[in-house]
Structure 1
Amino acid sequence: MYKISARFMHKLSRKELLAKILRVDHIGELAAIRIYDGQKAVISGQHPSRPIIEEMQAQEKEHLDIMERLCAKHNIQPTVLAPLLSIAAYALGVGTALCGKETAMACTTAVEELIGEHYNQQLMELLDDDPVDHADLLKILTKLRDDELHHYDVGVENDGLKAPQYEALKWIIQTGCKGAIWLAERM
């Protein structure tokens, strides 16, 4: 009887692990799209940053599609906070774009740096749980992490680190992201 209970408990904890990861990654991709929507609402179609933002947003849309398929496959509901976090992300996009190109790109570098670290933590959790069972998900999350780190590089190449008060802005944005991650893991 004990072995059956232990096996059942392991599956529950695995399901909880998947739910936590996929719920956070789903809202993360949705929030990234909404940040870029907010930035595009401010940055004109003729601005040199516009195609860069559109290209990164197109990748985020692909990532969201992947997350939606994974959530459906594993029967995981997105966070109930999605509407609120979506509005906050849009406001962040508008606010950073209103401050100029460097600040808009600083938003990308701050977010993507943190998300790259967060993906690394998730990959470690999955490897610790069962690398064989999670092989497909590990491959997907590694690809998504690499795409997000590429977005970080794009932000750096486009003067994101030169934004006024970059370190303070980075701290504010990353603290907000950490709060959103914490909430999404639980709701």
Structure 2
Amino acid sequence: MKLSNLLMIIISGSLLLAGCQVNQQSSESKTSSLHAAKTKTAVPATFRQQTFTVKNEASFTLTNHAVENSSTKNRQLLVIRMTVKNLGKREFTPADVWSKYVWAEQDGKRLTTGNLAFSTNQTSDNNLMNRSVMPVKPGQSAKILATFEPKTKSIINVHFTNQKNTIHVSRYTVR
């Protein structure tokens, strides 16, 4: 009788440990899958003749740039004007796509976007900035702008990426 009880305990313990091991492996694979989902993969992107193109998503044709006053007192903004075209099958917000693939740095530090100073002579720029956060339908284009707020008078490097690697860097002078 004691031998059968001992045998039952051993079998029950083995099943319990096997179940715990399955749960541990399951949570490990979930963690790996979650980590893999967070890893960015490169998408086909090019930069040619002032046009940054992300395949099947968007093209940004840079038309001009200027350093202008920021809404922050005694600060300036790098303003990049452009035309964006939706190359995809769904509408998108240009500012979202731009910020996904483009970033700027100055003196090795990443720059943030800035706000335009409000004045009547900048109304057209304010309209372009507003347009950058409005949806663009597939096949349609819009004139927009993007801004970066420099911290010093040093050169600003704007990086155009494929979400994994920089494929082009444009350099802008701040005066």
* Same topology, TM > 0.5: no
Structure with larger Rg: 2
Structure with bigger RCO (C-alpha 8 Å, 6+ apart): 1
